[in-house]
Structure 1
Amino acid sequence: MIGLLGCLCLSAIMYYCYAIYAAIAFLRHSHAINPEFHPPITILKPLCGLDSDAENNLISFCQQDYPHFQIVFAVRDRQDPIIEVVEKISQQFPDVDIDLVVSDRIIGANLKVSNLANALPQAKYDIILIADSDIRVTPDYLQRVVQPLQDQSIGVVTCLYRSLAQGWGATLEAISTATDFHAGVLVSHQSTGIEFAFGSTIVIRKSVLEEIGGFAAIADYLADDFQLGHLPAKAGYEVVLSDYVVEHVLGNSSVTNSLHRQTRWARGIKICRPWGYLGLIFTYGTVSSLLFVLLTQGSTLGWINLTIVWIMRLVMGWIVGAIALNDVVTKKYFWLIPLWDLLHFVIWCAGLFGTTIEWRGQQLRLTKEGKLMPLEQDFVSSQRCTELVEGLSVVSGEEM
């Protein structure tokens, strides 16, 4: 057992070193800006409810220094308070091409995807950009994220994100994203390339979206953003990670709610990338080194091992989170990284053995394909999942 823990500590150190290398490579790589390349873009914004600082988030997309773009907001409920915000923004930016679609049509279990499908007919342009409602950007955003599409072999562009957090629960989530989750993304990007996308930003051509079956092809999946990268990759298109990092505005969240959300994400990741999820065991150096100390009864070797592992973990977290992503939460609460690692190991174990998730008060089950199904007590027989989830309410910014 001690030998196994020693191997896990060594593998974690190697992972941390490679993540540092991947972060430095990400910093050095940038997509050249061609000022003559500015194809018109339609931004699809699925909305449901008021996210934290929702108005400023949405306004940031209206302030783009870009010649031709359209924004289509999509809402399910005519009584949704976000409609008032959209109408106010439309008046505030009369020169921006803004459309609002209000439709309760459901095409699958994931209501965010239904919102996107309802918005798509209003899209005027061939390049579609999807971004969650809790994302905030700067005026150069569109000009930068569209650049990779100069290459016709590229089907999808996506972005990393740094979080703005309030409360301890959201702070831990922000640290998780910046120093743990994105470290894994950068490692994947550097080693094999990525075949997935993030809801923070997905830029995709209409033709590519149609080729993979449109939004109907992902309407029942929890990880819709993952599928919007994965399916084009399977179809032969390249998925590119933009050098632009967006801001993700996290609302004030309790630790309990954050842990529930993290568990849901963990189970979704396990379904999407099962071998990658199992492989995370080789990256939990904080846990492995602590167990090594306990099993060696506080030996000198155990403490030396723990010191090396923890220093490497903190260095990796700082370079990825504070330097590569310029994440303010990481800079301020850097000392919470080991605590997050211990919590994340518990979440990883919960994700490993469970298939049930809680999403906006609804108890759902994930199938082995990653689709959403109501639990038996909530099940109502139907030909389509569209009739199984009438009561499901999803805030668009909270998806995977």
Structure 2
Amino acid sequence: MTADDDLPAKRDILKLSFATAGLVWYTFLWSLGLLGCWAARKRYRLRPRSPLASSGPGDVPGVSILRPLKGLDPNLYENLESTFTQEYPNFEIFFTVADEHDQALAVVRDLIAKYPHVNAHIVTGEEVVGVNPKVNNLVKAYRQASHDILWVLDSNVMADSGTLARSVDALDGPPSAANNSRKRIALVHHVPFAFATEPALGSHVEQAFLNTNHAKMYIAINTVAIDSCVVGKSNLYRKSDLERVDGTLKPATASSGAPRETGLVAFGRFLAEDNMIASALWHELDVRHDISCDVAHNAVGNMTIADYFWRRVRWIRVRKHMVLAATLIEPFTESIVAGTIAGLSLRYFLGLPLWLFLPLHFAAWLFVDLDVYESLAGHPVPPGATKWKFIGAWVLREGLAFPIWSYAIWGSTVDWRGKAYVVMRNGEVRRATRDDRNGWLRWIPWASGRKDTASYEPVDLAQD
């Protein structure tokens, strides 16, 4: 037998290998998706009232709630009011703004007047400890906090009245956890659940993404819990734990040479400080996270498709420098690519045509996603035009996933809050210059970002 005669056999082996790997991968994805769907049903369809809600102030641990503000975010009044109405007997609130003339302060003062019995404070003026404006905004309140437990909520988040009590339950853990049979819970986080406050198409695409695919995978990964996976819209953790970590992700007992800053200020050098805080607690202290049975109601304002595009680009580029492997395989977890791979594999093994398999695949994928939505919302997507609008946004999101990833993976420059940054190793950032724009893409006028202005500037923390 000649080498040429051997080629068909080798091609057959290669095809068989690819087809087998495709079906194995598809089975794995469905296992993960169904795990997320099952866990969402189990965790979110019953939200019992915590006994802490009816306890006395001296019988529960105190909590300091930190809410960074900037401008009039969508649904701001209701978002902030939900902090005042928590069914928990011992908490204080810090509203932090960088500018003493910020428009959000009028809303805060109205709420403080409406709820005079709530221990609420306004902290103005940022303390620059890094390039992350959220961290700079929070540092003063972080230092003034009276309690060890901190609850950090973004300004576009609204929380149910029982969220704090149930979250403290999760943070402290059940009494049986004291027997060292499980690692201590050091952070409690909440799955974002979006609601569009504007008719803009991008808002509805973002809503469809967060409430289905993102939530499904987020819940599944946290159920498996092999590593930290946290979105920072609503997080509880202990200040005493944060003061022991520095963002290096090295165990606290390991010698790391010269001492580094610890606590919140250590995370001012990261763009995704929430994710890095969670990772630092996990890896440096060898503790774990938990998600309570509450969601972080995320108000999505007037977001165009372009806004949605650049938001997704930003976080793909951040994740690329933090979890490269997971970012590289991301397209293969999406419905279109995964379905195509599985369809081609089944055509090889069974002769099943793609035109027959793909509609069944997409219908099943959508069914699971809608079930996850129902678990988080407590009700199905409303019928009629609302449901069809949601499904249309879901279809558009699925179609945009691969093009957005394909564009984002090549660059490291991101635009955030009107300023451009370069994402570096481990998610650290520095201010961008014109020369930092996305390699060869800088020759395409529209490809380096929405703004080609003075937002590209070097870092100067002394004058920032």
TM (normalized to structure 1)?
0.87
Residue in structure 2 matching 1:221, options 260, 270, 280: 270
Go from structure 1 to structure 2 and tell me whether the alpha carbon gap of 1:319 and 1:329 turns closer, same or farther (over 3 Å shift): closer
Residue in structure 2 matching 1:320, options 372, 386, 403: 372
Which residue is 1:172 aligned to?
205
Go from structure 1 to structure 2 and tell me whether the alpha carbon gap of 1:285 and 1:266 turns closer, same or farther (over 3 Å shift): same
* Structure 2 residues not aligned, in runs of 5+: 1-13, 179-183, 246-261, 435-455
**Structure 1 residue matching 2:425: 3-state secondary structure:** coil
Go from structure 1 to structure 2 and tell me whether the alpha carbon gap of 1:315 and 1:290 turns closer, same or farther (over 3 Å shift): same
Deviation of 1:243 after TM superposition, in Å, equals 1.6
Does the 8 Å contact 1:16/1:312 carry over to 2?
Answer: no
User: Residues of 2 paired with 1:208 and 1:125: CA distance?
Assistant: 13
Deviation of 1:380 after TM superposition, in Å, equals 3.8
Larger radius of gyration: 2
29-38 vs 157-166, which moves further: 29-38
78-87 vs 32-41, which moves further: 32-41
Deviation of 1:242 after TM superposition, in Å, equals 1.4
Which residue is 1:38 aligned to?
60
User: Residues of 2 paired with 1:335 and 1:160: CA distance?
Assistant: 23
Counterpart of 1:363, as a letter, is: A
* Cα RMSD for the two superposed structures: 2.7
1:240 aligns with 2:290: yes
**Structure 2 residue matching 1:353: 3-state secondary structure:** coil
Does the 8 Å contact 1:162/1:245 carry over to 2?
Answer: yes
Residue in structure 1 matching 2:400, options 329, 337, 343: 343
Q: Deviations over 1:263-291 (max 9, x none)?
A: 11111222222111122233123235458
Which residue is 1:87 aligned to?
109
User: Residues of 2 paired with 1:163 and 1:330: CA distance?
Assistant: 15
User: Residues of 1 paired with 2:69 and 2:117: CA distance?
Assistant: 22
Q: Deviations over 1:33-69 (max 9, x none)?
A: 4435632111001111110121111011101111111
User: Residues of 2 paired with 1:163 and 1:139: CA distance?
Assistant: 18
User: Residues of 2 paired with 1:290 and 1:227: CA distance?
Assistant: 34
1:185 aligns with 2:185: no
Does the 8 Å contact 1:270/1:351 carry over to 2?
Answer: no
Give the number of the structure with larger relative contact order, counting CA–CA contacts within 8 Å between residues 6 or more apart. 1
Go from structure 1 to structure 2 and tell me whether the alpha carbon gap of 1:293 and 1:59 turns closer, same or farther (over 3 Å shift): same
Alignment of 1:1-400 (within 5 A): 4=18, 7-8=21-22, 11-12=25-26, 14-29=28-43, 33-35=50-52, 38-151=60-173, 153-165=184-196, 166=198, 167-212=200-245, 213-234=262-283, 235-289=285-339, 301-326=353-378, 332=387, 333-377=390-434, 378-380=456-458, 382=460, 386-387=461-462, 390=464
Deviation of 1:21 after TM superposition, in Å, equals 2.5
Deviation of 1:5 after TM superposition, in Å, equals 7.9
User: Residues of 2 paired with 1:48 and 1:318: CA distance?
Assistant: 33
Counterpart of 1:305, as a letter, is: F
Deviation of 1:337 after TM superposition, in Å, equals 2.3
User: Residues of 2 paired with 1:292 and 1:276: CA distance?
Assistant: 20
Go from structure 1 to structure 2 and tell me whether the alpha carbon gap of 1:293 and 1:156 turns closer, same or farther (over 3 Å shift): closer
**Structure 2 residue matching 1:171: 3-state secondary structure:** helix
Does the 8 Å contact 1:287/1:342 carry over to 2?
Answer: no
User: Residues of 1 paired with 2:90 and 2:234: CA distance?
Assistant: 18
User: Residues of 1 paired with 2:299 and 2:459: CA distance?
Assistant: 38
Go from structure 1 to structure 2 and tell me whether the alpha carbon gap of 1:327 and 1:12 turns closer, same or farther (over 3 Å shift): farther
User: Residues of 2 paired with 1:293 and 1:54: CA distance?
Assistant: 46
Counterpart of 2:235, as a letter, is: I
User: Residues of 2 paired with 1:170 and 1:5: CA distance?
Assistant: 38
Counterpart of 1:75, as a letter, is: V
Deviation of 1:10 after TM superposition, in Å, equals 6.0
Q: Deviations over 1:309-357 (max 9, x none)?
A: 2123112211222334548769721343232112011112222221111
Go from structure 1 to structure 2 and tell me whether the alpha carbon gap of 1:330 and 1:188 turns closer, same or farther (over 3 Å shift): farther
Deviation of 1:367 after TM superposition, in Å, equals 0.7
**Structure 1 residue matching 2:202: 3-state secondary structure:** helix
**Structure 1 residue matching 2:426: 3-state secondary structure:** coil
Go from structure 1 to structure 2 and tell me whether the alpha carbon gap of 1:7 and 1:304 turns closer, same or farther (over 3 Å shift): farther
Does the 8 Å contact 1:9/1:289 carry over to 2?
Answer: no
User: Residues of 2 paired with 1:44 and 1:20: CA distance?
Assistant: 35
Does the 8 Å contact 1:171/1:329 carry over to 2?
Answer: no
Go from structure 1 to structure 2 and tell me whether the alpha carbon gap of 1:327 and 1:379 turns closer, same or farther (over 3 Å shift): farther
User: Residues of 2 paired with 1:182 and 1:269: CA distance?
Assistant: 17
Aligned positions, number = 384
Identity of aligned residues (%): 24
Go from structure 1 to structure 2 and tell me whether the alpha carbon gap of 1:74 and 1:334 turns closer, same or farther (over 3 Å shift): same
Does the 8 Å contact 1:218/1:224 carry over to 2?
Answer: yes
Does the 8 Å contact 2:194/2:299 carry over to 1?
Answer: yes
